[in-house]
Amino acid sequence: MRSTKIQYLSAIDIWMIHFVLLSTLDMGQDLSVKFLRDLDLLESAANLPRQPYYESLFVKAAALFRSLVKNHPFLDGNKRTGLLAVKIFLLDNRYRITCSDDDIVAFTLAVAKGEVRDLEEIAHWLEHCTEQCPRYSRSSLRQAMNDIRKDLS
């Protein structure tokens, strides 16, 4: 069996996801909410999945998701950005989240409120709510954003 190299998101990727997400949703917010609150927290979240002690793809995804949702690197939109970033991370690695929009929102809020903290539990949820799919290319990010925007509206 051939080993597949994991594709990671950089801090810049996540920052762009955040900016495009809030710009796309146009929720009547001023531009200042699209700004970064803490660059160190963003870089930490982006680098967390690369750590060798996170072995499986889904634990890596869980670490990224929890870090973005809980540590608030942005002034606003941390839950939405965390959800979109983990969806794109999984899409880049040939998995698509398939659970209902209500389940996605409820789970994201549970993580944000600290009701779900354990990485293994988050990883388990992600793994059981995904299916394999073709890899999205970065050039098809707009399509992925449109697909995911439906989940968030």
Locate the domains of the chain by residue range: 11-152
**Cross-strand partners of 36:** 74
| Rounded CA separation 40/20 (Å) | 21
Amino acid present at 60: K
SS3 state at 85: helix
| Rounded CA separation 76/80 (Å) | 9
Tell me if the domain spanning 11-152 has CATH number 1.20.120.1870. yes
| Secondary structure E strands in 6-144 | 95-97, 130-132
List, for the chain, all residue ranges whose pLDDT scores fall below the cut of 70.
1-3, 25-34, 135-153
Question: What pLDDT is recorded for position 35?
Answer: 80
| Rounded CA separation 36/75 (Å) | 6
| Rounded CA separation 22/149 (Å) | 10
- For residue range 80-124, what is the model confidence (pLDDT) as tens digits? 999 999 999 999 999 999 999 899 999 999 999 999 999 999 999
pTM higher than the cut 0.95:
no
**Do 61 and 86 form a contact (C-beta atoms < 8 A)?**
yes
Question: What pLDDT is recorded for position 1?
Answer: 39
Helical axes 57-71 vs 78-92, angle rounded to 10°: 160
